[in-house]
Amino acid sequence: MPGLAPLQHWLASALGPSGPALALGLLGALLVLVALPALALRPRDGFDRLRGTAAARPPRAEERAERLRRAEGDRLRRFSGLLEPRAAAEHEAIRLWLVQAGYRDRDAVRIFHLAQIALGGGALVLGLALLLARAAALGLPPTAADLVLWALFPGIGGYVLPKTWVARRRAARIDAVARGFPDALDLLLICVEAGQSLDQALQRVAREIGAGAPELAQELGLVTHELRAGKDAPQVLRDMADRCGVPDIASFVTVLIQSRQFGTAVADALRVYAAEMRDKRVLRAEEKANTLPTRMTLATMLLTVPPLLLLLLGPSVHGIAQALGDDEATMEPEE
């Protein structure tokens, strides 16, 4: 268009040949960031108001429970198509992954994807703004390498940062649960052998290990609450195994379910499994102790060999340097 020719010429002269494309991309990113709050705060539709008045009648118990579940997160629900995977299996896998990291909120999947989009887009826009300011200050057009370094890399880093954070939290939580499980199993065996039921034993163990293993205590406390609410015990135990993500706890759950199904004594099953867990803990400690010399070999070489070479070769190198210096000094007067 003839009216845009002066603007294109100015952008090309200020930012180089790719100036119009950079300005268009920055404008689009800003429009997206401005449109998201506007969509979140838009007024209610007329049909929504009609549905709200229809729902003003005394609700039934199921409707009341559903309304309580949907009371929060309405703004994020408007962007569910953008912030949630379409496939149910993928959504459930991400939700379980977040739960294993300790994020149990109902909108955790949406918040996670929102954090990825916000950090990635924010870093991209900030990088483009800094790149344009730098190009204007230096009077040089930005190159493709500058665009990748200042905009693309920060955008990718901001998008990957939430996933990296959650992965580290998940690994740390799984390790903490695995380290506290053998002691919790011994306490559970003591409580069951003392005559307590499994529900009472789990509650007592959750209270006792709260200071040493808060993650595992939280999981056991959730199990006791679900059992009190009347949920099926095998399903509650399987859910705990899925939330913890520890193979030993999954095997422990299998032992408990089989003992309940076949009518065997829970104390006998716990006694055998506790002995196996103690043996596994000893084997893990021995495995770490056996790998220690291999890990220390490189550090020992780096810290020992250079000083040793310096002590052995240092005097010789110093003597050779002095001898060569004396020879040069004696040769100069003769010339």
Instruction: Please report, rounded to a whole number, the percentage of residues in the chain having pLDDT higher than 70.
Output: 72
Q: Give yes or no for residue 173 having a pLDDT over 90.
A: yes
Q: Give yes or no for residue 189 having a pLDDT over 50.
A: yes
Segment 29-74, tens digit of pLDDT: 666 666 665 555 555 555 555 555 554 454 555 555 445 445 445 5
How far is Cα 129 from Cα 22, in angstroms, rounded to an integer? 10
C-alpha pair distances (Å), 323 with each of 19, 329, 331: 65, 10, 12
Residues in the chain: 335
Backbone angles phi, psi at 87, to 5 degrees: -75, 135
Residue 312: pLDDT band (50, 70, 90) is confident
Mean pLDDT for the chain overall = 80
Q: What is the pLDDT of residue 138?
A: 83
The predicted model scores a pTM of: 0.68
Residue 95: pLDDT band (50, 70, 90) is very high
Q: What is the mean pLDDT of residues 205-232?
A: 91
Between 317 and 242, name the one with better pLDDT.
242
Question: Among 103-112, 252-261, 301-310, 325-334, whose mean pLDDT is lowest?
Answer: 325-334
Q: Which residues of 113-126 are buried (b: 16+ CB within 10 A; e: fewer)?
A: bbbbbebbbebbbe
The closest alpha carbon to 115, from 92, 98, 90, belongs to 98
Between 215 and 58, name the one with better pLDDT.
215
How far is Cα 34 from Cα 52, in angstroms, rounded to an integer? 29
Q: What is the mean pLDDT of residues 156-182?
A: 94
